[in-house]
């Protein structure tokens, strides 16, 4: 196994350890993510960052092209997002959803083999990197909004049904989950809009036309609509927070489903991540 | 000997406990009088609303009757019936008892946080008086400092203090699970009785923005005077509901004060932001159906008890971990205390050995007059060094055996073998 693979395996093992520690905090009826679990998350993200740095140094390019490399980078950005949200102490239990998600993505990257795809793209260079990184930041934001939304719905249900068990104690306040979810959506929408504009500008500049049949464009537009819908759902009458949470959860699922459908449809030929 | 005489919620009814607490608070019980007794060397009196305990260090054992006589004598408590309320602990049991008290394992509400401060304050009061009255000596000082350390360890290493264990704290816990911090949240308190006062104080502690609603403006004003709050009468309740975050209902009204019809009228689709309604009145103030309104969370006393019971269950599961910390603290203290008992013996052994050495050196030097001053000094140093080497190992072994708790036989053997009984008695005298 190469150094990149070893570092990915190390990151995966540390994510698994962090997941186990979080699960034990939850099972023990703790009020929050324990310090060892938090340290394990930091260690895992650092190991993951080292793996991607090794990739960049080894292949002389950022890990933005090719399915495994892209998945790994996306997982890393979700991990970074988790650490940023963990600065808010009450938001740390988001890890209970995000760590398994990151773990699955890293495992998928490992199974696929983290190496450059070898495909030639016309759209490369600094603008390409910026386009992909901002798009990945948007998807990481959606993952965090999904996590916050899911926990919001669980905590809302526990409060409404007066089920004051372990999950109730462990999960953050509704207000915190709502604030994290909303910020993740706003940041994600901004990042995705910028990424889409960059892609559109490049296409118009060099290809003179923009085809809506391109699966990446379709996926990008679907995701953008999901962001907008989730933010719009929050507005209006009573229960906007809950509608926003539901929309973030449903929207994330729509984006994942859209990816799978587009991936299957383009399996025979077209290039799609 | 370390001894304790006390009464607590386990042994005495509240009317007896409160008389003792009042007596101590009034400062009518003087520990200085205790110290005037020949056999009492140190004393600390611990008094809370739930317990009054006297910790004393005495020369030798003291019988139960004398210990009970040392306790405060509040008016209205029959001296004849007092012994049935009092418990006596001696030696190691005193250490374990105090460590359990400080760790709140002996409290009425398991895991309550106040006891540690109360013990600290009793100990500090005794320390303040120490200069004049020598209340706290090495044993009680070490005992209380160890107890406070053990209490802190139990608090930080276990989850014995986690969660809400009273009605007001359960309400605050629920509110925090919805709103996070309550700072600046609009809390409407309906009613002006005793429960409303408790609710008011809780919300004020959390820096909530408070409105008080009562049947009469006068009673609302009286409650609002406990802090800063807006004052309203019951007819204004519907409009307050429309912009409240938290409503705490605690009136003595025989009927529902907040009805589903009222809520639907002011919030036809439910509130935009979550609305928490806590009904701590009996009979209830809030119609049950109000809880079915979207985005409204309604809890009554039974629900709050459910939160408390969950907390107590988790706290009870932490007791074995706390007991483990306490046991290790007791072992540590006992090792120190046992070692303290061997100090006079070692001192006597060294004094006696030095007397023998000095006598024998003097006698020997009288017959060695030809020696120069430097040679005489060399002989003196040689014998001192010899003695120090000979006594080093027995001293170390004595300390080790006593610290390990099995040194009684060895200590007695050392007393007997070196004929130290009379010297120890003289030292004690």
- Residues B62-119: tens digit of each pLDDT: 888 888 988 888 888 888 888 999 999 999 999 999 999 999 999 988 998 888 998 9
Q: What is the pLDDT of residue B113?
A: 84
Q: Which residues of B touch A159 (CB under 8 A)?
A: 174, 177-178, 297
Q: Chain B residue closest to A169 (CA)?
A: B177
pLDDT score, position B148 = 95
How far does A247 lie from chain B, in Å, by closest CA? 17
Q: What is residue A210's predicted lDDT score, i.e. its pLDDT?
A: 65
Strand partners, B278: B248, B299
**pLDDT tops 90 at residue B340:** no
Confidence of residue B163 (pLDDT cuts 50, 70, 90): confident
Q: What is the pLDDT of residue A250?
A: 96
Q: Taking the CB of residue B313, how many other CB atoms lie within 10 A of it?
A: 11
- Local confidence band at B385 (pLDDT 50, 70, 90 cut-offs): very high
Residues of chain A with pLDDT under 50: none
Looking at residue A189, what is its pLDDT? 96
**Strand-pair partners of B90:** B3
CB distance A162–B306 less than 8 Å?
yes
Assess whether pLDDT exceeds 70 at residue B337.
Answer: yes
Interchain pair B269, A237: CB under 8 A = yes
Question: For position B49, what pLDDT does the model report?
Answer: 78
* DSSP annotation string for A148-217: HHHHHHHHHHHHHTT--SHHHHHSPPHHHHHHHHHHHHHHHHHHHHHHHHHHHHHHHHHTS---TT-HHH
pLDDT (tens digit, 9 = 90+) per residue, B18-69? Answer: 888 888 877 766 676 777 777 888 888 888 878 999 999 988 888 888 889 8
Lowest average pLDDT, out of A9-18, B160-169, B234-243, B386-395, goes to B160-169
A67 to chain B nearest CA, in Å? 40
Interface touch B159/A29, C-beta < 8 Å: yes
Hey, are the CB atoms on A31 and B162 less than 8 Å from each other?
yes
- In sequence order, what are the beta bridge partners of A71? none
Task: Give the mean pLDDT of B150-172.
Answer: 89
Predicted confidence band at B224 (pLDDT cuts at 50, 70, 90)? Answer: very high
Integer-rounded Cα Rg, in Å, for chain B is 32
Q: CB distance B269–A29 less than 8 Å?
A: no
Residues of chain A with Cβ-Cβ distance to B306 below 8 Å are 162, 164
Q: Under an 8 Å CB criterion, which residues of B touch A?
A: 159, 162-163, 174, 176-180, 267, 269-274, 294-295, 297, 299, 303, 306-307, 310, 314
For residues A45 and B62, what is the distance between their CA atoms, to the nearest angstrom?
A: 65
Chain A CB contacts of B179 under 8 Å are 173-175
- Average pLDDT (B157-178) is 89
Considering only CB atoms, which chain A residues are within 8 Å of B156? none
Task: Give me the pLDDT at residue A222, please.
Answer: 93
| Residue B35 Cα, gap to closest chain A Cα (Å) | 48
Measured CA distances, A120 to A66, A109, A116, A117, A123 (Å) = 11, 20, 10, 9, 9
Average pLDDT, chain B: 88
What pTM value is reported for the model?
0.74
User: What pLDDT is recorded for position B384?
Assistant: 94
Q: Residue A122: its pLDDT value, please?
A: 64
In this prediction the ipTM stands at: 0.84
Find the closest chain A residue to B315 by CA distance.
A29
Give pLDDT, residue B209. Answer: 95
Contact (CB, 8 A) for A69 and A115 = yes
Any idea what DSSP says for residue B81?
T
């Amino acid at each position: 196994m190469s150094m990149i693979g070893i570092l990915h395996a190390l990151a995966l093992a540390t994510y698994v350890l962090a997941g186990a520690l979080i699960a034990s905090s939850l099972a023990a009826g703790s009020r929050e993510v324990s310090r060892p679990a938090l340290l394990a998350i930091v260690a895992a993200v650092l190991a993951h960052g080292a793996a991607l740095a090794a990739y960049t140094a080894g292949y002389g390019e950022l890990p933005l092209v090719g399915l495994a490399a892209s998945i790994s980078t996306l997982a890393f950005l979700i991990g970074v997002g988790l650490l940023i949200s963990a600065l808010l102490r009450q938001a740390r239990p988001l890890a209970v959803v995000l760590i398994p998600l990151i773990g699955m993505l890293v495992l998928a990257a490992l199974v696929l083999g983290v190496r450059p795809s070898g495909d030639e793209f016309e759209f490369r260079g600094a603008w390409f990197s910026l386009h992909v990184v901002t798009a990945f930041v948007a998807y990481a934001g959606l993952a965090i909004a999904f996590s916050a939304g899911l926990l919001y719905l669980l905590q809302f249900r526990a409060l409404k049904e007066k089920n004051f068990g372990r999950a109730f104690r462990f999960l953050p306040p509704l207000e915190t989950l709502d604030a994290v979810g909303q910020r993740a959506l706003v940041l994600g929408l901004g990042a995705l809009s910028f990424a889409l504009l960059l892609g559109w500008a490049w296409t118009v500049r060099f290809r003179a036309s923009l085809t809506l049949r391109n699966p990446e464009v379709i996926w990008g537009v679907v995701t953008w609509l999901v962001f907008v819908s989730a933010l719009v759902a929050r507005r209006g009458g009573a229960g906007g927070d809950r509608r926003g949470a539901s929309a973030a959860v449903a929207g994330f699922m729509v984006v994942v489903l859209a990816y799978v459908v587009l991936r299957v449809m383009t399996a025979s030929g077209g290039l799609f991540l | 000997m370390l001894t304790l005489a006390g009464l607590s919620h386990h042994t005495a009814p509240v009317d007896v406990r409160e008389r003792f607490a009042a007596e101590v608070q009034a400062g009518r019980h003087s520990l200085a009088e205790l110290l005037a007794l020949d056999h009492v060397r140190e004393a600390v009196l611990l008094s809370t609303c739930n317990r009054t305990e006297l910790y004393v260090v005495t020369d030798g054992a003291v019988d139960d009757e004398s210990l009970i006589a040392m306790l405060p004598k509040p008016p209205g408590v029959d001296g004849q019936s007092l012994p049935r309320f009092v418990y006596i602990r001696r030696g190691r049991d005193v250490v374990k008892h105090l460590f359990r008290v400080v760790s709140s394992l002996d409290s009425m509400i398991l895991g309550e946080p106040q006891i540690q401060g109360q013990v600290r304050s009793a100990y500090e009061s005794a320390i303040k008086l120490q200069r004049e009255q020598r209340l706290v000596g090495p044993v009680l000082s070490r005992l209380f400092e160890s107890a406070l350390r053990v209490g802190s360890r139990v608090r930080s290493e276990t989850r014995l203090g986690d969660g809400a264990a009273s009605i007001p704290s359960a309400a605050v816990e629920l509110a925090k699970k919805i709103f996070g911090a309550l700072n600046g949240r609009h809390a409407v308190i309906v009613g002006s009785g005793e429960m409303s006062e408790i609710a008011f104080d809780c919300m004020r502690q959390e820096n909530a923005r408070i409105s008080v609603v009562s049947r009469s403006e006068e009673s609302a004003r009286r409650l609002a005077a406990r802090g800063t709050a807006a004052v309203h009468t019951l007819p204004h309740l519907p409009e307050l509901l429309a912009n409240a975050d938290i409503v705490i209902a605690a009136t003595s009204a025989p009927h529902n004060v907040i009805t589903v019809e009222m809520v639907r009228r002011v919030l036809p689709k439910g509130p935009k932001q979550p609305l928490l309604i806590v009904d701590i009145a009996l009979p209830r103030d809030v119609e049950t159906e109000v809880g079915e309104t979207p985005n409204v969370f309604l809890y009554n006393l039974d629900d709050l008890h459910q939160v408390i019971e969950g907390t107590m269950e988790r706290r009870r599961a932490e007791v074995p971990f706390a007991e483990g910390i306490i046991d290790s603290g007791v072992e540590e203290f006992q090792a120190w205390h046992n070692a303290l008992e061997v100090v006079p013996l070692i001192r006597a052994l060294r004094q006696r050995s030095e007397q023998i050495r000095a006598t024998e050196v003097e006698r020997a030097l009288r017959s060695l007059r030809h020696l120069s001053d430097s040679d005489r000094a060399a002989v003196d140093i040689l014998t001192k060094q010899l003695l120090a080497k000979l006594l080093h190992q027995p001293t170390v072994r004595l300390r080790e055996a006593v610290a390990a708790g099995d040194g009684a036989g060895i200590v007695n053997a050392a007393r007997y073998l070196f004929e130290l009984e009379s010297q120890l008695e003289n030292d004690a005298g």
